[in-house]
Structures are given as structure tokens and as C-alpha cells.
Chain A
Amino acid sequence: MRRAAMTPYLLIAPATIFLGVLFVAPLVQTIALAFRPEGSFSFGNFTTMANDINFNVAIVNTFKVILLAVPLQVALALGMAMMLRHMRAGRDIVLWIWSIPLGISDLAAGLVWLAILTDRGYLNTLLFHLGIIPGPESWLTYETPTALLIAIVVAELWRATPIVLVILAAGVQLVPKEYNEAAEVFGATPWQRFIRITLPLLRPSIQTALILRTVLAFEMFATVLALGGRNFPVLMSEAFNWQNFQQDYGVAAAYAVVVMVCSLAATLIYLRVLHTPAAQLP
């Protein structure tokens, strides 16, 4: 009997110990590293970080990309999920194709769009044939900040919409068909049915998708470096620079703490704003 009571603990012990050593310990260390540069509590690392010329740019850039990309991703994924619902034949293959970027690394996604948007790339070839530009044109430099921002948002849109799509498409399956049919009987237009029935019932899925996407978007890093290099600093690329090039682990840790605080704050906001009472769940 006693042995049986021990069994579940023995089963979870390896995973717990592993995560304790490689998750909890580093987490505590990073926070300590950020706040205690010389063994005593201080904001020294944060002051160094905030006084760096790239800090404000990095914050603004990170938020610009998130505020543009995340709503577009949710809108696009909603559209795709609705299209999937109306499909009969070939639904599985279309879903497979649409989810391919889900498995693609952010670095690879950046390189994919670099192939299209580089000076002698495919976009410029198209624009050249249409007679819009006379020859190779640079879009991803310091002098073209708007074009660079659009390029990064497009790459993020391409790479990360499938994650939202899969979450929303799974949510759409849970919405009972009867609700829509009933509304149709009472003469609701497709748009009314979408706004009044599908969207409110999808709220929990949308909340999940928004939390997941925003947390991951704060970590955006490789796509930006592949497309813009050092021309477009974001929070994570600054953390990486301080760690690898300046060799200042304390400031890098301070950046990591900022990213963590932003992610947690975004999660809490979504949980509050999109809270669904249990009685309204489908």
C-alpha cells in the first residue's frame, strides 16, 4: 500500500529534479544577476541598459512589431478558420499546407523573406517587370525604416499565423452548429452570425492565441536579425549583443528581466480583458 502511494511521486521526480536544476535555478540566477551586480542590491544594470542609445529604439521597435503583427495574425487566422469550416473536400490538405510555417524556425523564416526582399530579390524583379523601379533597390537598410518594419511584420505574419490558426480552428470545432443554424432560421446574415455567435463563442480560443502569440513575439529575435541585422534593434537582440559582444552578463540579464515582465504583464492584461465567465463557455 505504501509503495503504491509513492509511485506517482517516483514518476514525477525525474522531471521535477530536471526542471529544478535547469529551469528554477537559472531563473533565480538571472534575476539575481540583474539586480545584484556586485553582491548587493542595485539598479546599476538597469541604469546602464536604460542609458544605452539602443534601449528606447529596441522598446519602440518591439512594440511596433507586436501591435501591427499580432492583430493582423488573429484576423487572418480567423478568416482562414472560417474558410476551413466551409470546406468539404481537401480540407485536410489545405490545413496541412497552411500549417507548414508552424514548424519553421524564426531564423529560416527571416532567410526566406530575405531571399524575396533582398536587392536582387524576387520582389524587386517583379517591380522591375511592372516598370515601377528601374533597377535593384534596397529595402532593408537604415534609410528605409518603414519598408524594414513592413518586411519584418510580413515575415512574422507568414511564420506565426499558423499557430493562431490551429488554436482557433480547434476552437471553431467546439462551437455547436445548431447555434448558427438557429440564427440562420431567424434570418441572420452570415456577417451577423459571425459577429454575434461565432466570435463570442471563440473568445477563450482567441484569448489563448493572443497570450501565446504575444509572449512569443516579445522573444522575436532571429527573424529581425536575418532581415535587418543591426538596423532594427529589438529587446532580445539587445540582450544577445550585451551577452555575446559586450560580454556584460548583468545588462543582458536586465534585458531578459524586461522581456519577462512585458510577457507576464501582457498575459495578465489578456486574462483580465478577455475573461469569459464559465457559464458562457460553449
Chain B
Amino acid sequence: MTTRHAMFLAGIATLCAWVLLPIYLIALGAIGGSEVVNAWPKPAWPSALSVTALQEFLHIEGVWWSVLYSVEAACLCMVVSIVLGAPAGYALARYQFRGATSFRLFVLLTRAFPVAILALPLTVGFIRLGLYDTPVGVGLMHSVLAMPFAVLISASLFQAIPRELEEAAWVFGCSGPTAFFRVVLPMALPGITAAAIFAFVISWNEVFAASVLTVRHKTLTAYLLTVLSESPLHVQFAGGFILIVPSVLFIFLVRRHLFSLWGIASR
């Protein structure tokens, strides 16, 4: 029993290290600057965290501009997908109407198509509309990717809130919208926040569409993709590390909703 138990724990620890160690190593490369990245053979610990390396990290100009564009696109994606998706989710949860099944299927279908097939013609369309090479254009494109999650997650959230609560509010004289905003929305808010964070991360992480739709105002992923073969490794690692930090936070924030997010998403 004890040896088996020890082996079991060792297996779990190994798998945790398999996930965490690579992140630690890229963090070393990002914060250590060119010194650490070019060192041979590499020390396992940063010998002395040099201030110059850290300053170098904070002054990689292209990276920070692209971070700004990424945040703009991701915020837009978050707002659009929730503002348009949550009402649709509410309709699916509360009303029985002709076409509900087709609508659900249509939303699911958007996930079955590769992003390339959507991003390529949007280049031409966005040039015409003046949205090409703007974070707004990228954010709109990413909203398409986040929309099915927003609709289906909010549908299941609203379904979980008893209809009786809403009806009680109507009885006490609340109008439909008031009952929704005073009673239903506060209860659904934590779940909707998780869905919004999810939408943010979808946009933050997306590479292909962002690279195709931008030239000079590149988001972080698009910027890193173009500098892959040109810029020094420590810049790339710094960019990669900045890309990872919000993702780790995100998984921590939505950890309670992880099963429901992916459970629904995968149905």
C-alpha cells in the first residue's frame, strides 16, 4: 500500500512538473535577458537577476505596443460576444420558439469551421470598410470565434436559475426587463464573468486571423509571429512570457467553471 501510494504521488508530482517546469524556464529566459538566453551551459537558477536585463525586458517597445492592441481587440471581443450572445442564450433558456433547435445548431456549426476559411476573405471586406489593420477588425473577427461559447454558456446559466424567481418578481409588479436586471442577472453574473474572461482569452491567444488581418498595428501574437526568425531570442521569450501570464491567471479565475465551460463547449 505505501509503495503504491508513494508511486501514485510521484506520478502526480511528475505531471505537475511537466506542466510547470517549461513555464518556469521561459520565465527565466524572458526576465534574464540576452545574458541568460545566450549562456552555455545554462545555470538552473538565475545567478543574479540583473536589473539591466529586467529593464531590457520592460523596454522592448514593439512588444508593449502590440500588448496594447491585443488588449483592445480582446476587450472588444469580450463585450461584443457577451452583449450579443447572452440575450440569445437567454432566449434559448427561457422561450420555446420555432427555430430554436436550428439556431442552436447554427451556433454550434460556427465552431466546426477552421478560422482560415473566415479570416481570408475578411481581409478584402475589412479593407473596404477601413477596419483592416485595426484592433477593432481583429476584435470583431475574434467575436465570431467566441460567440458560440457565449451563447451556449449563458443559455445553460439562465437555465439553472429557477423561472419561479422571475415570475415572483413579475407578481410584485416588476416589468419583464426590470425583473431580468434585478433578479436574474445578478444570479447569472459570476458565470457570465467567466464566459467573458473566456472570450478575452480566445482573442488574446488567437494567431492566424490576427496575423492575416494586421500589418502595422499588430496584436501581440501577430507581432511575435512576424519577428520569429528576425529578433533575438530573449525578445521572443519575453513576448511568449507576457502571452502566458494572463492565461495562467484566467485558468485560476475560472477554475470553478472549467468543467461547465468545456462541458458545454464540447457538447
Contacts and interface: CB of A to CB of B under 8 A. Distances in A.
B266 A208 contact: yes
Interface string B114-126: 1111111111110
Contacts of A257: 117
A249 B120 contact: yes
A113 interface: yes
Interface in B90-111: 90-92, 94-95, 97, 100, 103, 106-107, 110
B12 to A, nearest CB: 6
Contact of B236 (A95, A114, A253): A114
Nearest to A3: B176
Contacts of B123: 243, 249
A172 to B, nearest CB: 11
Contacts of B42: 120-122, 125
B79 interface: no
A50 interface: no
Pick from A5, A112, A125 the residue with the most CB of B within 10 Å. Answer: A112
Contact of A240 (B125, B208, B267): B208
A11 B87 contact: yes
B259 A26 contact: no
B252 interface: yes
B163 interface: no
Interface stretch (B54-62, B184-192, B241-249): B241-249
Interface residues of B, number: 89
A216 B77 CA distance: 20
A33 B248 CA distance: 39
Contacts of B11: 83
B120 A108 contact: no
Interface SS majority for chain B: helix
Interface string B76-88: 0000100111011
B40 interface: yes
A256 B120 contact: yes
B239 interface: yes
Contacts of B151: 15
B183 interface: no
A95 B255 contact: yes
B15 A80 contact: yes
B207 interface: yes
Given A12-B88, A128-B41, 5 more contacts: A15-B84, A83-B8, A125-B41, A215-B114, A222-B207
**9 residue pairs, one from A and one from B, having the closest CB atoms:** A111-B240, A105-B205, A103-B247, A29-B121, A11-B91, A8-B95, A256-B116, A108-B243, A8-B91
23 contacts: A12-B92, A14-B84, A16-B103, A23-B118, A27-B117, A30-B117, A30-B118, A30-B120, A80-B15, A96-B252, A98-B16, A100-B19, A100-B248, A101-B19, A103-B251, A106-B205, A122-B25, A219-B208, A221-B208, A239-B120, A249-B121, A252-B116, A259-B114
Interface of A: 5, 7-9, 11-12, 14-16, 18-19, 22-23, 25-27, 29-31, 33, 80, 83, 86-87, 92, 94-108, 111-116, 118, 120-122, 124-125, 128-129, 135-136, 158, 163, 166-167, 169-170, 173, 208-209, 212, 215, 218-219, 221-222, 225-226, 229, 236, 239-240, 243-244, 249, 252-253, 255-257, 259-260, 263-264, 267
